[in-house]
Amino acid sequence: MTTHQYQQDAYPYNHDGESLGFEVTELRLDGDEQELPKDPSEFPLFEHDEAWDTAEFDVELSVTDDTLNYVFPPNEVEGALVVAGYAPQTHGRFIEPIKTGDLDQGTYSDTIVIERESYRGRVEFEALLIRNDYRPDDDEYARQSGRMLAHGPYVDLYLDPPRLSLSGDLPVIPADFNEDDNPGKPGAEWHVDVTDAAKPKLYLNEASPTVVAAVNAIERPTKQGLIGRVALNHLAVSMLTQFTIKAATHAVIKGGIEYDWQETLLTDLCGDYFTDGTVDEFESSLGIEAISTTINEVEAIYQQRQQPYNDVKRLLETI
């Protein structure tokens, strides 16, 4: 069970952190069983040789008595174990109930079905324990229906090859910005380089390792991990905003979108603002009178994304 003091700091009620067990036990594509990947947290479905329409995931979700006794009042262990799905590129969400009502410790299983035509990019699975109904008591337990009480590890499904916001697509280069011939300014924590627009790079300042420390800490069930998540949320918004402005600028200079990383940012992630996706729209958004509004709108889009630090974490996870 995770540290209670940390959870009380993070939530206004008893929350047991990442205490649920969650795994995919079998995968079928169009009914044919597939070999499970070595990394149980990542399913690169785009590597399958043949096109598929339906993916079925047999999952197991487990909960202990320690968790149930910590997050529910005595004799009121009634809630729901669910798997929450989220697709960042399309902002699609779904909830798959695994077990509802009176809960006991143990392992529960079910099958989650993903239709290929409904999603693209990446789909996240996360196991959650939630409260079912409202309770009036004002104590250390959650009162509102739908409150999250515990969660399990993420499982990522890659329906398409990873793009900008996923690991492996953007080179990350540690460098000392105090030394000569480094693109970043001394004192800065990171620098986006699109000198070669076909191969954008992200430099991290080794002399100011705040970002690296935050990335390494965000999974820890400690106050340091919480602080890392908060800090990286803000850094993620700044990084992605700068990439987006540079993507639009390059599109204006070249007369159109040339690279996948530009399309990811301008049409997938910020399509609600760049509604036309034309060079004229990009040029107008970068004008003197519009640039301030553009930056604010783009920042707002990234701030509203679910856990934007995940985007940057996947960019930096090679460090």
Over the stretch 47-68, which tens digit does the pLDDT of each residue have?
888 899 999 999 999 999 999 9
pLDDT in tens, 79-92: 999 999 988 777 78
Residue count of the chain, please give it. Answer: 319
Strand partners of residue 22: 61
SS (H, E, C) the chain: CCCHHHHHHHCCCCCCCECCEEEEEEEEECCEEECCCCCCCEEEHHHCCCCCCEEEEEEEEEECHHHHHHHCCCCCCEEEEEEEEEECCCCEEEEEEEEEEECCCEEEEEEEEEEHHHCCCEEEEEEEEEECCCCCCCCCCCCCCCCEEEEEEEEEEECCCCCCCCCCCCCEEEECCCCCCCCCCCCCCEEEECCCCCCCEEEEECCCCHHHHHHHHCCCCCHHHHHHHHHHHHHHHHHHHHHHHHHHHHHHHHCCCCCHHHHHHHHHHCCCCCCCCCHHHHHHHCCCCCHHHHHHHHHHHHHHCCCCHHHHHHHHCCC
Structure confidence at residue 231 (pLDDT):
61
Name the region of 262 (left: φ>0; alpha: ψ -120 to 50; beta: rest). alpha
93-107, 137-151, 178-192, 227-241: range with highest mean pLDDT: 93-107
Q: How many CB atoms lie within 10 A of CB 228?
A: 23
Whether the CB-CB separation of 131 and 68 falls below 8 Å is answered with no
The rounded distance, in Å, linking the Cα atoms of 291 and 285 is 6
- Mean pLDDT to the nearest integer, 171-184: 76
Whether the CB-CB separation of 88 and 264 falls below 8 Å is answered with no
Q: How many CA atoms lie within 13 A of 109 on its CB side?
A: 9
Average model confidence (pLDDT) across the chain: 80
Domains of the chain: 4-158 (2.60.40.1930), 172-316 (no CATH)
Task: Kindly tell me if the per-residue pLDDT of 107 is higher than 90.
Answer: yes
Structure confidence at residue 227 (pLDDT):
56
Strand partners of residue 86: 93, 124
pLDDT in tens, 271-309: 889 999 899 999 999 999 899 999 999 988 887 764 555
The rounded distance, in Å, linking the Cα atoms of 289 and 252 is 17
Which comes out higher in pLDDT, residue 313 or 265?
265
The rounded distance, in Å, linking the Cα atoms of 253 and 243 is 15
The rounded distance, in Å, linking the Cα atoms of 40 and 154 is 10
Percent of the chain topping pLDDT 90: 38
- Which pTM value belongs to this model? 0.54
